[in-house]
């Protein structure tokens, strides 16, 4: 069997591999832009690095480097004659605003996972694994950030109606359990929309929704249930007795 590498295939794969690396670095830069408000600043209109930095209240030198990388990655456009950078409206739709089209928060996943990389590598060598507790709370925060706007825009009007008859059953009143509820945002959205139904959410960890109180979305009199294996949070509509542990009323 001929094991001589095909030159063309080797080159194609090398380009693909470099694309992985480039994409990872750009994802980190998207996270920076998302966190410091650079996409919102750029969406206000074309501007030089100084103008965009001024809009965002940031250091121009850093913003200049960030914009150059964004231009190289095709996120923003650069006009050499005017030295201005432009965030196209089609790109701004995916990186700014409060609609479900804003995907910028998904950039949190890469740095969150990278923080645990050494532990995962060690698991490859020794077996075992990395416990879920070691990923908290920023795993939960990253998941919430990635899905919150999608749930806000699509859960009630898109996801639930995809199951024939489900919205009608929820309107009439049924019991719903959300297993792996994270911060409980989806549970609370459904509870607000369907007050006749009972909702309870469960997730691993004894501090779900409470390690950072701002993560826990609350509506009228939600219950937090603690059990030996999981801890859940109820959407608040006629809380059920599930949880098999002490129940505390959140204020």
CB atoms inside a 10 Å sphere around CB 188: 24
* CATH number for 50: 1.10.10.10
pLDDT at 1: 72
Q: 7 pLDDT exceeds 90?
A: yes
Please check whether residue 200 is in contact with residue 184, taking contact to mean a CB–CB distance below 8 angstroms.
no
pLDDT at 45: 97
Q: Is residue 202 a part of any domain in this protein? A: yes
Q: 241 pLDDT exceeds 60?
A: no
Can you tell me whether residue 198 is helix, strand or coil?
strand
pLDDT at 142: 87
Q: Which of 74, 96, 118 is the last residue of a domain?
A: 96
pLDDT at 250: 26
Q: Is residue 27 a part of any domain in this protein? A: yes
Cα 245 from Cα 226, distance rounded (Å): 5
Q: Is residue 135 a part of any domain in this protein? A: no
pTM of the model: 0.74
Q: Which of 70, 96, 122 is the last residue of a domain?
A: 96
**What's the total number of domains in the chain?**
2
Q: Is residue 81 a part of any domain in this protein? A: yes
- Render pLDDT for 95-152 as a digit per residue (tens, 0 to 9): 999 888 999 999 999 999 999 999 999 999 999 999 888 888 888 888 888 899 999 9
Q: Which of 46, 63, 96 is the last residue of a domain?
A: 96
Q: 210 pLDDT exceeds 70?
A: no
pLDDT at 218: 37
Confidence band of 237 (pLDDT split at 50, 70, 90): low
Higher pLDDT: 225 or 59? It is: 59
| DSSP designation for 75 | S
Q: Is residue 237 a part of any domain in this protein? A: yes
Cα 200 from Cα 176, distance rounded (Å): 6
pLDDT at 223: 44
Cα 106 from Cα 70, distance rounded (Å): 17
Largest Cα separation within the chain, whole Å, is: 71
Residues shown for the chain: 251
pLDDT at 54: 98
Strand partners, 249: 223
Confidence band of 234 (pLDDT split at 50, 70, 90): very low
Average pLDDT, the chain: 83
**Domain limits for position 192:** 164-249
- Render pLDDT for 36-81 as a digit per residue (tens, 0 to 9): 999 999 999 999 999 999 999 999 999 999 999 999 999 999 999 9
Q: Is residue 104 a part of any domain in this protein? A: no
pLDDT at 251: 24
Burial class (CB in 10 A: 0-12, 13-18, 19+), 208: buried
pLDDT at 205: 60
pLDDT at 118: 95
Q: 186 pLDDT exceeds 80?
A: yes
Q: Is residue 124 a part of any domain in this protein? A: no
Q: Is residue 137 a part of any domain in this protein? A: no
């Amino acid at each position: 069997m001929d094991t001589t590498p095909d030159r063309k295939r080797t080159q194609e794969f090398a380009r693909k591999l470099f694309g992985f690396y480039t994409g990872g670095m750009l994802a980190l830069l998207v996270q920076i832009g998302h966190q410091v408000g650079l996409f919102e600043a750029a969406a206000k209109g074309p501007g030089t690095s100084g103008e965009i930095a001024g809009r965002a209240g940031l250091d121009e030198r850093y913003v200049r480097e960030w914009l150059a990388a964004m231009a190289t990655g095709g996120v923003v456009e650069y006009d050499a004659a005017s030295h201005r950078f432009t965030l196209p409206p089609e790109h701004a739709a995916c990186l700014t605003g409060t609609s479900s089209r804003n995907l910028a928060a998904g950039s949190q996943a890469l740095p969150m996972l990278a923080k645990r990389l050494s532990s995962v590598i060690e698991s490859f060598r020794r077996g075992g694994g990395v416990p879920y507790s070691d990923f908290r709370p920023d795993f939960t925060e990253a998941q919430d950030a990635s899905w919150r706007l999608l749930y806000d825009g699509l859960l009630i009007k898109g996801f639930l109606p995809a199951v024939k008859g489900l919205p009608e059953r929820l309107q009439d009143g049924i019991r719903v359990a959300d297993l792996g509820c994270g911060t409980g945002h989806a549970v609370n959205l459904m509870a607000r929309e369907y007050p006749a139904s009972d909702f309870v959410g469960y997730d691993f960890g004894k501090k779900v929704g409470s390690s950072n109180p701002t993560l826990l979305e609350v509506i009228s009199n939600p219950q937090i249930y603690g059990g030996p294996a999981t801890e859940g949070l109820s959407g608040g509509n006629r809380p059920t007795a599930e949880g098999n542990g002490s129940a505390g009323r959140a204020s």
